[in-house]
């Protein structure tokens, strides 16, 4: 195998035996094969689109498949074997329709004709990352693929809530085809690939806007909310991941059951949505970001539902209490997690989880306090005049966007130390699980405005963009680059890659990223980003404080 799609990749270069995430080498190769199959499916579907015989379900199917290959989503080899076969079957239906049942001509690329057995015999060296010889072409193609994975993750959440876009589906198709060697549809040169990355970022903004509208349309606009971090006396269910529809169904099925529901990780922002605040048994947030789950899940005592990415291979002590849904899956020689499927109407039956919860003791208390969330764009902009007044009065000197991902590396203590070192006239704008590095610090407020404004999940980086754009209007400046606003963001996986590309597509300059730069970015591609956008890596707290805050 060779995988370098996440920040944790071995030695900062690439995992070659097993993934640092816990993904086995054979599963990594299956994911390579699935990506290869999806490229062939996209190629045939693009031809079918020209003739009016493309697959109408192309978009949702490909988004689900791409989502399953994100870091920490699915570790089950059988899932990928099935998904590869389904992809090839769909490809063949479209291809046969294009050619009226006749075999395609000799100009058809291998991805359009390869059989299941032939593909399953291919190695990572033949079809994976390292099969692309030129380092810059490899860098650009893989970064684009990772951006597509981010689009697919957010796109699936929106799709589940009934929101979708043909423009998004067609871009996914075009982008996949662009990564095929010697494609009859043409391979873009390096400038063309960089343009595609910027287009990917623009589509990222669109898909995050769609998801924001879908979430607020279904559950209301988030409001500032204090969330308990303690525990009650009732048995509980812990829900982790990102999918708000799953949370809604779980709360509906647990009301008046005597079972409390707690959020974990990226589910914390759900407490800010008005629709969820009506449930008496929606009691608080348990624990911290995703990588703490081995110790926190063990102490929770009750069942855990993992709805999206951020699954860590479980310990045997709680694997029997851990359930998956959507694209999430885990199986090895010791455990196969119970999966909760959706029926044809999209509903799910969580009764098995609820009955198990009733037999479990209440959670063991980890802490006892509160944490704030719910500062999405509607909430912040409702007091925009107060914010502008505070800036003009000199009470707020700088806004610092510290959004993104958390991770296990010790170097990430930097973000806590940076937040603690910020002057008292600065406000942190955050979204994503990076917030757990500082959202429980006692940083106070500025004239009633909390110094940490948590907009929500990683997709709610869109809220931060909306806030910045509206502040630019309020201050009468041309771009967000003219605001007293700096970006010091953390990344870990492919959704963060999409958010990064989205910011670049909006023309945001001077982004500082860490704790490392993506291994998939080659030196020449990095040089383009530095020259065009002045992108840089974080260094140490003292140096970064001088160049970002006190310059």
DSSP state of 172: H
Name the burial class of residue 510, with classes exposed (0-12), middle (13-18) and buried (19+) by CB atoms within 10 angstroms of its CB: middle
Ligand-binding site membership of 53 (annotated): no
Known binding residue 3? Answer is yes
pTM of the model as a whole: 0.97
- Written as tens digits, the pLDDT of the chain (551 aa) is 999 999 999 999 999 999 999 999 999 999 999 999 999 999 999 999 999 999 999 999 999 999 999 999 999 999 999 999 999 999 999 999 999 888 887 778 899 999 999 999 999 999 999 999 999 999 999 999 999 999 999 999 999 999 999 999 999 999 999 999 866 555 788 899 999 999 999 999 999 999 999 999 999 999 999 999 999 999 999 999 999 999 999 999 999 999 999 999 999 999 999 999 999 999 999 999 999 999 999 999 999 999 999 999 999 999 999 999 999 999 988 889 999 999 999 999 999 999 999 999 999 999 999 999 999 999 999 999 999 999 999 999 999 999 999 999 999 999 999 999 999 999 999 999 999 999 999 999 999 999 999 999 999 999 999 999 999 999 999 999 999 999 999 999 999 999 999 999 999 999 999 999 999 999 999 999 999 999 999 999 999 999 999 87
Residue 542 known to bind ligand: no
Pair of tokens at residue 281:
């048994």
Segments of 105-186 assigned E as strands: none
- Nearest CA to 354 out of 254, 280, 233, 240 is that of 254
21 is in an annotated binding site: yes
Answer yes or no: is 242 a known binding residue.
yes
Q: Does 495 belong to an annotated binding site?
A: yes
Return the SS3 of 305.
strand
Nearest to 408 by CA among 512, 496, 301, 490: 490
DSSP 410-440: GGGHHHHHHHHHS-TTEEEEE-SGGGGGTTT
Taking the C-alpha atoms of residue 57 and residue 63, their distance in angstroms, rounded to an integer, is: 10
CA distance 209 to 197: 18
Residue 338 marked in a binding site? no
What is d(CA 224, CA 210) in angstroms, rounded to the nearest whole number?
A: 22
* 51 annotated as a binding-site residue: no
44 is in an annotated binding site: no
Closest residue by Cα to residue 145 from 260, 36, 41: 36
Question: Which has the closest alpha carbon to 400: 544, 265, 263, 542?
Answer: 544
Tell me how far apart the 2 most distant CA atoms of the chain are, in Å: 74
Distance from C-alpha of 140 to C-alpha of 172, rounded to nearest angstrom: 15
Residues with Cβ < 8 Å from 550, sequence gap 6 or more? 423
Pairing of strands 536-537, 449-450: unpaired
Bridge partner list, 225:
373
On whether 458 is known to bind a ligand per the annotation, the reply is yes
């Amino acid at each position: 195998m060779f995988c370098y799609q996440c920040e944790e990749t071995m030695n900062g270069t690439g995992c070659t035996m097993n993934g640092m995430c816990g993904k086995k080498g054979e599963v990594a190769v299956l994911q390579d094969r699935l990506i290869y199959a999806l490229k062939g499916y996209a190629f045939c579907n693009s031809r079918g689109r020209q003739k009016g015989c493309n697959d109408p379900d192309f978009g949702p199917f490909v988004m689900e498949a791409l989502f399953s290959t994100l870091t920490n989503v699915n570790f089950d080899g059988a899932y990928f074997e099935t998904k590869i076969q389904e992809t090839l079957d769909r490809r063949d239906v479209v291809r046969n329709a294009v050619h009226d049942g006749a075999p395609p001509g000799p100009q058809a690329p291998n991805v359009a004709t390869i059989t299941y057995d032939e593909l399953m015999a291919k190695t990572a060296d033949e079809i994976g990352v390292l099969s692309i010889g030129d380092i810059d072409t490899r860098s650009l193609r893989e970064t684009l693929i990772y951006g597509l994975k981010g689009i697919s993750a957010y796109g699936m959440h929106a799709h589940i809530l009934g929101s979708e876009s043909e423009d998004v589906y067609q871009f996914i198709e075009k982008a996949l085809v662009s990564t095929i060697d010697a494609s009859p549809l043409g391979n873009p040169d390096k400038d063309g690939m960089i343009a595609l990355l910027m287009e990917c970022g623009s589509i990222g903004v669109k898909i995050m806007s769609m998801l924001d509208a879908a979430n607020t349309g279904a559950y209301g606009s988030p409001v500032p909310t204090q969330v308990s971090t303690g525990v009650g006396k009732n048995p509980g269910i812990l829900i982790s991941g990102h999918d708000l529809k799953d949370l809604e169904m779980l709360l509906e099925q647990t009301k008046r059951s005597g079972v409390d529901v707690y959020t974990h990780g990226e589910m914390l922002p759900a407490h800010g949505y008005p629709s969820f605040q009506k449930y008496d048994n929606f009691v608080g947030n348990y624990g911290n970001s995703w990588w703490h789950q081995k110790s926190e899940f063990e102490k929770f005592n009750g069942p855990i539902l993992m709805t999206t990415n951020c699954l860590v291979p479980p310990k045997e002590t709680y694997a029997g209490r851990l359930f998956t849904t959507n694209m999430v899956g885990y199986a090895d020689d010791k455990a196969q997690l119970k999966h909760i499927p959706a029926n044809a109407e999209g509903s799910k039956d969580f009764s098995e989880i609820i009955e198990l919860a009733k037999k479990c003791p209440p959670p063991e208390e980890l802490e006892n306090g509160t944490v704030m969330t719910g500062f999405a764009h509607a909430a912040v902009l409702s007091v925009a005049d107060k914010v502008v007044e505070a800036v003009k009065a000199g009470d707020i000197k700088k806004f610092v966007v510290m959004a993104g991902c958390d991770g296990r590396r010790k170097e990430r203590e930097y973000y806590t130390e940076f937040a603690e070192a910020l002057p008292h006239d600065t406000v942190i704008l955050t979204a994503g699980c990076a917030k757990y590095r500082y959202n429980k610090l006692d940083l106070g407020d500025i004239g009633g405005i909390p110094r940490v404004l948590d907009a929500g999940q990683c997709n709610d980086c869109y809220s931060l963009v909306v806030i910045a754009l509206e502040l630019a209007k309020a201050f009468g400046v041309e771009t967000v680059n003219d605001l007293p606003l700096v970006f010091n963001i953390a990344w870990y996986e492919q959704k963060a890659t999409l958010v990064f590309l989205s910011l670049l597509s909006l023309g945001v300059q001077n982004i500082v990223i860490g704790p490392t730069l993506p291994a998939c970015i080659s030196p020449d591609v990095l040089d383009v980003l530095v020259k065009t956008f002045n992108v840089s890596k974080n260094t140490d707290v003292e140096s970064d404080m001088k160049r970002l805050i006190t310059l």
